[in-house]
Structure 1
Amino acid sequence: MSPSPPRATDHVADLAAFVQASPSSYHAAAEGARRLVAAGFVEQDEAAAWDSSPGGHFLVRDGALIAWRVPDGAGPTTGFRVLGAHTDSPTFKLKPRPDLGAWGWQQLGVEVYGGPLLNSWLDRELGLAGRVALSDGSVRLLRTGPIMRIPQLAVHLDRAVNDEGLRLDKQQHTAPVWSVGHRGLSVLDHLAEVAGCTRAEIDGYDLVAFDTAAPAVFGPHGEFFASGRLDNLSSVHAGLVALLASEGSEHIELVAAFDHEEVGSGSRSGAAGPVLADVVSRTLGALGATPDEQHRALARSVCLSADAGHALHPNYAGRHDPANQPVLNGGPLLKLNANQRYASDATGTALWRRACRRAGVPTQEFVSHNAIPCGSTIGPLTATRLGMATVDVGTPLLSMHSARELAGTEDPGSLSRAVGAFFALGG
């Protein structure tokens, strides 16, 4: 049987701590690595000989984290149980030459990353987080405090906004203010101070905006959980908790937390890149697998692609399928799509139901309204690249791609329990 999971309240509290430690994909990978090291996992240097010894291993590639446990007695045809997720979220990325200003204001040039709900980022105290590359070749993570805000135009100056709707120009209306009355001030000076270096030492940066408000549990029965980056840190966290709680299985258990899913996954740390295939092939190779044996191992492998999905919105019920209407705290989603935007099929569905029964958690189906095409996930990419059987699942949310998304307090822990049961399934 899978190990006893933490209570829902404890799981959500730990998820909140994980989100707060992970304002960027680079921080998420670092926080995951910190937890793995504390549990005895060993970091794999990609430039070194591959370690296939029994036990826990991990690597960090930019904003991606891959962690796996090799069981005792693993051989060249041992299969994998993979939990795939992603570390990035829709946001704004700091542009080169970021300092803007007019009429006494100091503003920042930012570029839209992915598909955020733009209006949800208005009137929030935002920080910047990510990494800076220095002239000596080193890389440092940094995060600021609340230093900027995208202020909305007052209703007195836009009398039609509540009747005709808010329309935001991505260039003109999203530049945050970060100071006033300090002409000549550069955000790079502030970032250098936070990073503990000089401005001249910063040769490059990957920095994104994040909402500095803390996650919160609320509702008369504590049934709601509001936080930034639940899409998709809720899945990353669920996978790590399940992996660290696992008592081992006959398979190689693996959590793949990719970067850049929100912009198509096309990078060396994204699901369309080589990182998962590299780990799989090098692990099997170090176990002595021939090319044929590697294919046999992949034929025994399964991936759960875990990404947040849509709960029914009570104010927009007509946007959802009339028969499949998942709700918060109704259990993690099984995501299905006839056009293969999700990779789930009948056999994958049956495997997922087995895992949920073993874990003692409910599950719900999500399928799109026919007139409203759904997005996609890393699931079809993984199935296509590796030929691995893949099932798409995830935590139901409202306000997906908002700066502050909404989950139920029961569902994240239920997902983690189901993932733990999936890792333990034989066959």
Structure 2
Amino acid sequence: MSQTPSLQQNFNQNLVEFLRESPTPYHAVKNMVAKLEQHGFVQLNESQAWQLKDNGRYYVTRNDSSIVAFTNGNHQQGFRMVGGHTDFPCLKVKPQPELHKHQYLQLAVEVYGGALLNPWFDRDLSIAGRVFYIDTAGELKSSLINYRKAVAYIPSLAIHLDREANKKRSVNPQTDIPPILCQLGKDEKADFRALLKEQLAEEGVTDVTEVLEYDLSFYDTQGAAIIGLKDEFIVSQSLDNLLSCYVGMTAMIEALDNSSAPMVLVCNDHEECGSQSATGAQGPMLKTILHRVAGSTEALAQAIARSMIISADNAHGVHPNYADRHEGNHQPLLNKGAVLKINANQRYASNDETCALFGLLCREAGADYQYFVTRTDLACGSTIGPLTAGELGIRTLDIGLPTFGMHSIRETAGTRDAFQLNQVLQRFFAKDQI
């Protein structure tokens, strides 16, 4: 790459800060909105008529956890689209969570997505998310909440009480993982909603009379960091897929002065549990927005025929201790470029045309790229790519940055990869024709 190392370092430090401040999809979308508004993007309300200006910059959020940002250019050039997802595997607090056992307060949790559970033990955990409450005027309101400090812990069972732990310990998600929050007096009981009211007051929300509902999850208080003897790795919870959301957003912003075709960034919620929701990729959100932007079914059909979406999700980097889990000729390495994800049975939506287009973009940007095909005797995961392709009929490419520990509470990616993908996506957004 022609850029100096200081640009890459600056990019990754900003990425680290974004990850640290985005413990839930709600916080991620809030932070993306703040960044987009700094660059002239204006919020649209789905319940109102839109009056879009030529070359206008807009964004739409739904449920505070999904976002679509776009520029209003010449639709006949087609849309240049990048997609990701805001959600990630975690432990969500159940509606009636209080567990009082042996004078400890624990919270019952539900596993969201395909979480790797063992790494959640013995970590300093906090709580964040969204809370709905009744204010002093009797109105229903909501607020984001973030304890920030460590307030919970899931202790492992000592090896003295489980001598086979290193050989065959399994995790029961119902009984083994309720986090411990505090000790209580002998007859003391805790009310979690009352505790939330206290926390809201601590965060400056003082008009709460009663907490009604919430969507809260636990997260790792050990924030994102750059590690490695050569600062070559970034580690964090939620790299899958806030990493791609951030890279796509910054590429779009940096391409604003160089793109004549309309650009679209879509970051959906609920990918980790199947995407079939009002805010997920298998729902109508993106198609509805594009239809309103294009103005008619005919105009949208013409635009889609000239469009392409790059679905940017994470890919499995070859683990040096488990290299046999990869197909022999397709073993992506961290810091060796984005991965073209290919599956003959359409678990990924890439085809030869979209792969060739991405390869050309990488060559123009001086960036590396790699391939991933899962072993034929292993099941293949999927992304928002095939779902978006099926909903829109749009040319689609599935890519990802190689990652260790996907779906762990702490994942690892390469610092060079994130920066390079940003450069490639800038070129994609700026393409007059694709």
Q: Where on the TM-score scale, by shorter chain, does this alignment land: which range?
A: over 0.9
Does 2:230 correspond to 1:221? yes
Aligned with 2:337: secondary structure? coil
Matches within 5 A, 1:146-161: 146-161=150-165
Q: State the 1:186 CA deviation.
A: 2.5
2:285 is matched with which residue: 272, 275, 290?
A: 275
8 Å contact kept, 1:144–1:194: yes
2:261 is matched with which residue: 228, 245, 251?
A: 251
More displaced stretch, 297-306 vs 217-226: 217-226
Aligned with 1:268: secondary structure? coil
Q: State the 1:204 CA deviation.
A: 1.3
Q: State the 1:416 CA deviation.
A: 1.3
The equivalent of 1:405 in structure 2 is 411
Q: How many Å separate the matches in 2 of 1:115 and 1:170? A: 12
8 Å contact kept, 1:379–1:391: yes
Distance change (3 Å), C-alpha of 1:8 and 1:175: same
8 Å contact kept, 1:189–1:199: no
- Cα deviation code 1:265-322 (max 9, x no counterpart): 111111011111111001111xxxx422221111011000000110000000110010
**Structure 2, unaligned runs of 5 or more:** none
Does 2:82 correspond to 1:83? yes
Q: State the 1:190 CA deviation.
A: 2.2
Q: State the 1:154 CA deviation.
A: 1.0
Q: How many Å separate the matches in 2 of 1:198 and 1:165? A: 51
Q: State the 1:137 CA deviation.
A: 2.2
Distance change (3 Å), C-alpha of 1:272 and 1:345: same
Matched AA of 1:194:
Q
8 Å contact kept, 1:6–1:413: no
1:185 is matched with which residue: 166, 171, 190?
A: 190
Distance change (3 Å), C-alpha of 1:238 and 1:4: farther
The equivalent of 1:129 in structure 2 is 128
8 Å contact kept, 1:124–1:149: yes
Q: State the 1:355 CA deviation.
A: 1.6
8 Å contact kept, 1:3–1:245: no
Matches within 5 A, 1:10-409: 10-53=10-53, 54-62=55-63, 63-71=65-73, 74-75=74-75, 77-135=76-134, 136-145=139-148, 146-162=150-166, 164-182=167-185, 183-195=188-200, 196-197=205-206, 201-246=210-255, 247-285=257-295, 290-409=296-415
Distance change (3 Å), C-alpha of 1:78 and 1:282: farther
Aligned with 2:222: secondary structure? coil
Q: How many Å separate the matches in 2 of 1:414 and 1:166? A: 40
8 Å contact kept, 1:355–1:425: no
Q: State the 1:4 CA deviation.
A: 10
Matched AA of 1:91:
C
Q: State the 1:115 CA deviation.
A: 0.7
Matched AA of 1:154:
A
Q: How many Å separate the matches in 2 of 1:365 and 1:157? A: 45
More displaced stretch, 381-390 vs 206-215: 206-215
Aligned with 1:138: secondary structure? strand
User: TM-score, normalization: structure 1?
Assistant: 0.95
Q: State the 1:6 CA deviation.
A: 7.5
- Cα deviation code 1:86-113 (max 9, x no counterpart): 0000001110111111111110011010
Distance change (3 Å), C-alpha of 1:6 and 1:70: farther
8 Å contact kept, 2:341–2:350: yes
Q: State the 1:426 CA deviation.
A: 2.5
Matched AA of 1:58:
Y
Q: State the 1:225 CA deviation.
A: 1.2
- Cα deviation code 1:107-158 (max 9, x no counterpart): 0011010011100111111111111112322211111131111111111111
User: TM-score, normalization: structure 2?
Assistant: 0.93
Q: How many residues in Structure 1 have an aligned counterpart in Structure 2?
A: 418
Distance change (3 Å), C-alpha of 1:296 and 1:46: same
8 Å contact kept, 1:342–1:376: yes
Matched AA of 2:233:
F
Q: State the 1:5 CA deviation.
A: 11
Give % identity.
40
Matched AA of 2:425:
V
